[in-house]
Amino acid sequence: MTRPLVIIGGYLTSPDDYKTLAQVLSRPPFDFQVFITPIGRLRWALTRDWDFRPVLRILRATVAQALQETGADSVTIVAHSVGGTVARMYLGDHPYKGEIYGGHRFVHHLVMLGTPHHSKEFWTRQTVGFTNQHYPGAYYDHIRYTSIIGRSIQANRNGRWIERMAYNSYVMIDGPSGAQAWGDGITTLTCAALPGAEYLVVPGLYHSSIHGRPWYGDPDGLRNWQRVLVGSSPIVV
């Protein structure tokens, strides 16, 4: 039976950003049939704390399509950045603005790439808080949760532009503790750690191609975290 894998991106991404990753994952040693959620940059730009239902519905429809086309009972989800929060919400049975998604019935592995699991950022803090309140940590025992984070940029308020940008992002999501933290350029090492989940830190891996190369979706970047998809597991924290 074909193994389905669903990719969901993060803020201001496009499905095209993940085409190369999808192509590699469709070949040996992975041999997944890959489905990319059709969420464009405009849809992400409009998605804020007041309503995540549009992207949740798209993820739900993409998982349903993957199951129908492959005949599988469950999928692997690879979620980049805030897509990991959306995926955790999708798994749940608690009503979100009147809707229940119950995706835990259709997912056996959730891989999160640079996902911030707590946030003080104005546009997402309520949604991240909702997720952590109702589905803390690796909430569903029958689902394998894997959190991957690059260690490539240390925050520096007076450093190079990329270090200053990291400083602003780290402080925005992690508060004062982010002022000298390490991370992937957007998410800090501590913010990416989800209690009970597998946790893999990859030196030299960036959040996106804007921050540096390789990023999570590059073939060279994938080589550093592909072990979670082909059998061996990172450390559980």
Q: What is the pLDDT of residues 22-54, one digit of tens each?
A: 999 999 999 999 999 999 999 999 999 999 999
pLDDT at 216 over 90: yes
What is the arithmetic mean of pLDDT over 78-88?
98
Continuous segment of H or E residues that includes residue 83 = helix 83-91
Angle between helices 53-70 and 83-91 (to 10 degrees): 70
CA 136 – CA 90 distance, rounded (Å):
14
What's the pLDDT at 231?
Answer: 61
pTM for the model: 0.95
pLDDT at 236 over 70: no
CA 73 – CA 216 distance, rounded (Å):
27
Confidence label for 122 from pLDDT (cuts 50, 70 and 90): confident
What's the pLDDT at 1?
Answer: 64
CA 64 – CA 58 distance, rounded (Å):
10
At 151-209, the pLDDT tens digits run 999 999 999 999 999 999 999 999 999 999 999 999 999 999 999 999 999 999 999 99
What's the pLDDT at 143?
Answer: 98
pLDDT at 237 over 60: no
